[in-house]
Structure 1
Amino acid sequence: MVSCAWSLTEGDNPSGNTSPVIGFDLEYPDNYSMRHSLYIVEENEKLILWNFIGDPDDFRLQDFVKEQQ
């Protein structure tokens, strides 16, 4: 079973601005742990969660957008 805790902090994004960041701390049974972060921005009146793909200096970002149902 994997345990997960989250926190809300601030971090620098590629545009040089500061954004809120949701951080997920995952802990696996074999003493392996990992942190996954999603940045929060507002774009066109929508809340966007995003993260880097590959090297952050490449400015290739992945958006996670909740669609209307």
Structure 2
Amino acid sequence: MILEPSIDKLQTKINSKYTLVTLAAKRARQIQDTKIHQVESPKAATYVGIALEEILEETLIVDPEYKMMKE
């Protein structure tokens, strides 16, 4: 079974696997709660899959100014 989108394609959009997983998980929870997504016709059957499709289509991006550090 081949999963789409592939990790190689996703890492061209977000190069950190940690960031990719965190972003997809948070977005999947939002999609689950609101039932609203930004993909025209998603191929994925799961919320995480839809979130990953959003990342691949660049409708979901990481703010480069966001810092995950404690002050």
TM-score scaled by structure 1? Answer: 0.27
Higher relative helix content: 2
Higher relative strand content: 1
